[in-house]
Structure 1
């Protein structure tokens, strides 16, 4: 399923018209396209941040034990590489540090409780790029 998620996300990314738009608007449009491809996924938490190259932002969401979660990251037109890592406490449960702008982390929650997502702007051609991440259950 991970490969099909990556392919669908890439297709959704390139399906968006190449018009100048606000970074958050572009990210919202990309997530809408992604969600149209995967209607079984339900949004648990979302997060947008303005990040300089090398900077990170975190958000948390509550998970239920035994449920599969997919965390997807996206960034604006000035970004070429954004990374994700998901933590349960201080333990990493998954990461995507590939050199791309659509990181995906899938994991099954071993315990109920709070999970933390860290999104890092690895490569940005502007002083500040917009990045977004969503955690989905399903």
Structure 2
């Protein structure tokens, strides 16, 4: 499941297609892309966090996740080319990361404990300031 999901996650940013990308920009494009995960991949949505970062900047955000198999999926807007994600538990221990050079990022956790997780999101390559969003899915 993880390898199948990995391939799908890398492609999911393309699910919105050129027409949707023309109509949605900035935070609206982020929302459209995260909504596409629900409809196109059949995952159950959970919490979302969003923000805006300049090129080369990082920030921390907290997000609630259910227990069990969970996926943290992140996307960024049309000005972004590389968005990275690190997921940590409540004690600060790193549980997973995606720092591949792409604009859609994911971390999969098997047997996650329900609770609060800390995300470190980084805008590795963007023009100006870029909007981003991370959702938790099952």
- TM bucket (normalised to shorter chain) is 0.7 to 0.9
CA displacement, residues 4-27 of structure 1 (integer Å, 9 cap, x when unaligned): 4225414315x2424264301111
Partners of 2:135 and 2:112 in 1: how far apart? 20
Question: Structure 2 length normalisation: TM-score?
Answer: 0.84
Structure 1 consecutive aligned stretches of length 4 or more whose deviation exceeds 4 Å? none
After TM superposition, the score normalised by the length of structure 1 is 0.84
**Structure 2 CA distance for partners of 1:110 and 1:131, relative to 1, 3 Å:** closer
Cα–Cα, structure 1 residues 79 and 7, in superposed 2: closer, same or farther, change >3 Å? closer
The answer to whether structure 1 residue 102 and structure 2 residue 104 are counterparts is: yes
Q: Name structure 1 gaps, 5 residues minimum.
A: none
Q: Distance in 1 between matches of 2:10 and 2:84?
A: 17
| Cα distance in 1, alignment partners of residues 132 and 101 from structure 2 | 15
From the superposition, tell whether residues 4 and 53 of structure 1 become closer, same or farther in structure 2 (CA, over 3 Å): same
Name 2:15's counterpart in structure 1: 12
The structure that is helix-richer by fraction is 2
In the TM superposition, what whole-angstrom CA distance separates every residue of 1:11-57 from its partner, at most 9, and x where no partner exists? 315x2424264301111111122211122x22221111110012123
Cα RMSD of the aligned pairs, angstroms, is 2.0
